[in-house]
Amino acid sequence: MIRCVHLTKAHPRRILYMVNKMVNRIRKELTQRQRKVLRAIEAFVLERGFSPTIRELGRRLGIVNPSAVFKHVLSLERKGYLRREGGELRLVGFPTPLDSQVRVPLVGVAPAGRPEEVFDSLGESVEVPEWMVGRRRGNIFCIRVVGKSMVDAYIDDGDRVLLERTTTVNSGEMVVARLDDGSVTLKRLRRENGRILLVPENPEFAPLEVKELRVVGRVVGLLRKY
């Protein structure tokens, strides 16, 4: 139904407000810059399995000022392409094939607490959304977490974590690392003044310093059942 509005007696500001409201409802097109931002977010999710932070998005786009990146994110949110949940970006309607699943191997238990020597192949697999794996399908595996040293990173005892097999990681990323005694642990990697630290996300646990970093995998996603 089309509503006819008599504008001749309306206040000019009221007219402008109504016109803008109508335009905003109809016009969902993206500017060239907004398309670039949206494509960058989609590519990041496909590669990593989770959404980028504002700073990560800025680095990918070559935009130094986080406020400028956030402005584009707000525009995409107003136009219905993004939403924010718990401080994270969510792509609305992405991925389109929601029923598209892939199987990845469940290789064992990685202790997110005091390191234990438990990292065995279970001969099992789990189904995950294809968009969480992307082009890295052959390098993705799944672990079940034991312990609570990463609870402040929203990884709790019993959660299943997706990892990418890699030996190259950046400071600040969450990794499963093999320690000098052969045990494995899930922690956040920090490199500070030549030191290699495996840092928990729980103040009740102390960081571990290692002489040599042996990465088993990098965390790319989290599976949780409520």
User: Minimal CA–CA distance to 212: which of 166, 181, 172?
Assistant: 181
Distance of alpha carbon 137 from alpha carbon 124, whole angstroms: 16
Of 21, 51, 148, 149, the catalytic one is: 149
Beta strand pairing call for 174-178 and 160-164: unpaired
The whole-number pLDDT of residue 180 equals: 77
Does 187 qualify as catalytic in the annotation?
yes
State whether residue 195 is helix, strand or coil: strand
- E-strand ranges in the chain read 82-85, 88-91, 101-111, 124-129, 140-146, 160-164, 174-178, 184-192, 195-199, 208-210, 214-223
pLDDT tier, 149 (very low <50, low <70, confident <90, very high otherwise): very high
Of 79, 121, 187, 211, the catalytic one is: 187
Distance of alpha carbon 158 from alpha carbon 111, whole angstroms: 10
Greatest CA separation for the chain: 83
Report whether 219 contacts 145 (CB < 8 A): no
The whole-number pLDDT of residue 124 equals: 74
Distance of alpha carbon 80 from alpha carbon 92, whole angstroms: 7
pLDDT tier, 135 (very low <50, low <70, confident <90, very high otherwise): low
Backbone angles phi, psi at 118, to 5 degrees: -140, 95
What confidence tens digit (pLDDT) does each residue in 51-87 have? 788 888 998 899 989 899 999 989 888 888 888 776 6
pTM here is 0.53
Does 149 qualify as catalytic in the annotation?
yes
